[in-house]
Amino acid sequence: MQLTPISPEILNFDAKAPLVLLCDHASNAVPAEIGDLGVPAAAMQDHIAWDIGAEAVTRRMCEMMGVAGVIQKVSRLVIDVNRDTDQAGLIPEVSDKVPVPANQGLSDVARAARIDAYWRPFHAACESVIDAHQKAGINPLVVGIHSFTPAMNGAPRPWAIGFLWNRDPRLAQAMIGLCERETGLIVGDNEPYSGKALYYTMQRHGADRGLAQTTIEIRQDLMANEHEIDQWAALLADLLDECMTRPDLITPKVFP
C-alpha cells in the first residue's frame, strides 16, 4: 500500500535568525486518499483534530520576525507527528473519548504507509531547516507552537500560556521568567501537561542536538480572533528576541 507523500510548508527557509518555529498540529486536513475518518464533522473542527490557532500564531511570528518555520499539513487524527513511530497514540483509535473508526484495526502495512507519506516528510523538513542553520554556523532556538483547551475532563485550566520542557529547562524557564516579568498572565511550567511525557518533536529536533528548545502552549479561548492572534505573536516575538541574545541559550548543551 502506498500513499502520496505530503510535505509540510516551510516558511522563510533562507532566514538565518537563531530561531526556528515548528507547528506540528497546525492542520485538521485529511488527505483524500485516506477518505472519511468516520469522525463527525463538528469534531474535525475541534481540538482533537488540530491545535486551534497554532498555525495562525506561527505564521504571524514568522512574518513579524523573519524567522524560519515548518507547518504540518495533515491532521493529527491521521498521524500525530509529535510522537515516535512506536509510541502510543501515533494513529489514535480514540481521541478525547471520540472514536476514530478509520484508525481502528489498521494493518502494519497501512500504518507504515501513513508514516512514510505524512510523518517522515514533516521530520525531514524540520531537519533540513535546522541543518541549514547549523551549516551557516547558527545554533537556533527551537520552539514548538501548540494550543490547549480551556478545560479537560471537566477541570478548568487556569493557565493562559504554558512552556513545556523535558530534560533541558533553559528556554522554558527563561520564557516563563520573561512572561511573568512582562505580563500579568498565569503561566504554566510544564502545564497543561508535561514535556517529560510528550515531547517528541522538540526532543528530536532541538534537545538531541543540544539546542535550547520549548513547546509553547496557548489557551485556545484567548486566540478567538485576529487581534488576539496578533497580540500573542507580538508578545512571543518580543520575549524570543531577548532570548536570542543570551549566550546561555544559543550555546548548544546536551542534557543527559
Condensed to tens digits (0 to 9), the pLDDT of residues 29-58 reads: 999 999 999 999 999 999 999 999 999 999
pLDDT at 153 over 90: no
Asked whether residue 104 is assigned to any structural domain, the reply reads: no
Domain around 200: 9-29+52-73+125-250
CA-nearest of 150, 141, 152 to 178 is 141
Model confidence band, residue 147 (pLDDT cutoffs 50, 70, 90): very high
Asked whether residue 78 is assigned to any structural domain, the reply reads: no
Asked whether residue 224 is assigned to any structural domain, the reply reads: yes
Asked whether residue 208 is assigned to any structural domain, the reply reads: yes
User: Whole-structure pTM over 0.95, yes or no?
Assistant: yes
Asked whether residue 209 is assigned to any structural domain, the reply reads: yes
What's the pLDDT at 154? 86
Asked whether residue 255 is assigned to any structural domain, the reply reads: no
What's the pLDDT at 157? 97
Mean pLDDT of 227-250: 98
CA dist list (Å): 93 to 83, 174, 199: 15, 37, 20
Q: Return the C-alpha cell found at 127.
A: 531537519
* DSSP secondary structure letter of residue 247: H
* HEC per residue, 142-195: EEEEEEECCEECCEECCCCEEEECCCCCHHHHHHHHHHHHHCCCCEEECCCCCC
Q: How many domains does the chain have?
A: 1
Asked whether residue 42 is assigned to any structural domain, the reply reads: no
Q: Are 206 and 142 in contact (CB under 8 A)?
A: yes
The CATH number covering residue 171 comes to 3.40.630.40
pLDDT at 1 over 90: no
Asked whether residue 65 is assigned to any structural domain, the reply reads: yes
Q: Return the C-alpha cell found at 96.
A: 478525547
